[in-house]
Amino acid sequence: MDYVRLCSGCHGLDGQGAPKAGVPELDCRFLNILRHKDGKRYVLNVAGVRNSHLSRTRVLDIYRYVTESFCKAGITATDIKFSVEDERLLDDPDIDIVGLRRNITQYLSEKGLESPSYPW
Ligand code: HEC
């Protein structure tokens, strides 16, 4: 399973992250990120995904697994799906990933929603 092999070492087998070490949780707070209009674009271009050099299909499968597994309450995977069309968001050459993360954090705080822990 790609998530277990490539992501869980840092983000945890249950998506619990390692907040003290600056590794974000991939739980319900992660799903909150996906409520932002550019949330998918953001998560599909983070360093962990880019550096994995996985095929597009396998990246989308990882996120299907994450959205279905780690948030047991509130919004669920039935609200948020990764479809084949989302492939076009991968490998965005123009993305300002840190700036976008700041916008997402601000958007969530205005809505009263929690963001995952983030190192900067
Ligand atoms: C070497 C440790 C490491 C690995 C392996 C790793 N990540 Fe990360 N990940 C981080 C750290 C640290 C951050 C926060 C800084 C950043 O965005 O690079 C992060 C950020 C993220 C974020 C953004 C979360 C947020 O709240 O902004 C997502 C989504 C993510 N990773 C997904 C993945 C996926 C999917 C994989 C596997 C393909 C993966 N990561 C592999 C360490 C890792």
Residues 15-67 pLDDT 10s: 999 999 999 999 999 999 999 999 999 999 999 999 999 999 999 999 999 99
Distance CA 12, CA 2 (A): 13
pTM > 0.85: yes
Residue 110 alpha carbon to ligand 1 centre in Å: 24
Residue 23 alpha carbon to ligand 1 centre in Å: 7
Which residues surround ligand 1 with Cβ inside 6 Å?
6-7, 9-11, 22-24, 33, 43, 46-49, 52, 62, 101, 116, 118-119
pLDDT at 74 over 80: no
Distance CA 4, CA 93 (A): 27
Q: Which domains does the chain have, with CATH numbers?
A: 2-110 (1.10.760.10)
The two tokens of residue 91 are 């490998």
Substitution candidate for ligand 1 out of 2, 6, 8, 11 with most atoms within 8 A of CB: 11
Q: Which of 116, 119, 118, 120 is nearest to 15 (CA)?
A: 116
Q: Whose CA is nearest to atom 20 of ligand 1?
A: 24
Do you know the residue count of the chain? 120
pLDDT interval class at 119 (50, 70, 90): confident
